[in-house]
Amino acid sequence: MNDRTCIVTRQSGPADRMIRFVADPDGVVVPDLKARLPGRGCWVTAERRQLRKAMEKNLFARALKAKVTVPETLDETVDSLLVSALTGMIAMARKAGQVVTGSGKVEAAIRSGRAIAVMHASDAAPDGVRKMDQARRAAAASGSTGIGSFRLLSADEMAIVMAGGNVIHLAVLAGQAGEGVVKRAKMLDRYRNGAENGHTAGVPAQETETE
Give 134-173 pLDDT, tens digit per residue.
999 999 888 777 899 999 999 999 999 998 788 999 999 9
pLDDT of residue 202: 54
Whether domain 82-193 has CATH 3.30.1330.30? yes
User: Is the pLDDT at 128 greater than 80, yes or no?
Assistant: yes
Q: 207 pLDDT exceeds 70?
A: no
pLDDT tens profile 52-82: 999 999 999 999 999 999 999 999 999 999 9
- CA 120 to CA 128: how far, in whole Å? 9
User: How far is Cα 169 from Cα 132, in angstroms, rounded to an integer?
Assistant: 9
Contact 199, 122 (CB under 8 A): no
Contact by Cβ (8 Å): 52, 12: no
Confidence of residue 196 (pLDDT cuts 50, 70, 90): low
Helix segments in 103-175, DSSP class H: 103-112, 126-141, 155-161
pTM: 0.88
Q: What integer pLDDT is reported at residue 164 of this predicted model?
A: 79
Q: Domain ranges for the chain, please list them.
A: 15-72, 82-193
pLDDT at 1: 42
Number of H helices, E strands in the chain: 7, 7
CATH number of 15-72: 3.30.1230.10
Q: Are 117 and 202 in contact (CB under 8 A)?
A: no
**What would the pLDDT profile of 98-116 be if each residue is shown by its tens digit?**
999 999 999 999 999 999 9
**180 CB-near residues (< 8 Å, 6+ apart):** 89, 92, 93
Residue 41: pLDDT band by 50, 70, 90 thresholds? very high
